Amino acid sequence: VDLLAPKPGERILDLGCGDGALTAKLAAMGCDVVGVDGSAEQIGAARALGLNARVVDGQALDFDGEFDAVFSNAALHWMKDADAVIDGVWRALRSGGRFVGELGGFGCVDRIRTALHAALVRRSVDPVRVDPWYFPTPEDYGGRLAARGFVVRSCELIPRPTPLPTDVTGWLEVFAVAFTSPLPPTDRAPFLAEVQDALRPALCDADGRWTADYVRLRFAAERPCG
Ligand code: BEZ
C-alpha distance across the termini of the chain, in Å: 26
Least Cα distance to 76 among 5, 122, 144 occurs for 144
Cβ–ligand 1 distance for 104 under 6 Å, the answer yes
Phi, psi of 54 (to 5 degrees): -140, 155
* pLDDT mean by block of 10 residues, the chain; 226 residues: 96 98 98 98 98 98 98 98 98 98 98 98 97 98 98 98 97 98 97 98 97 98 93
**Distance between Cα 155 and ligand 1 center (Å):** 18
Confidence at residue 201, expressed as pLDDT on a 0 to 100 scale:
97
Q: Is the dihedral of CA 122, 132, 143, 83 positive or negative?
A: positive
Confidence at residue 164, expressed as pLDDT on a 0 to 100 scale:
98
CA angle 222, 102, 209 (to 5 degrees): 165
Q: Which helix (H) or strand (E) holds 7?
A: none
Query: Helices marked H in the chain — which ranges?
Result: 21-28, 40-48, 82-92, 110-121, 127-130, 138-148, 168-175, 177-180, 185-203
Cβ–ligand 1 distance for 176 under 6 Å, the answer no
Alpha-carbon distance of 37 to 41, in angstroms, equals 9
Cβ–ligand 1 distance for 108 under 6 Å, the answer yes
Question: Are the beta carbons of 49 and 20 closer than 8 angstroms?
Answer: yes
Confidence at residue 226, expressed as pLDDT on a 0 to 100 scale:
75
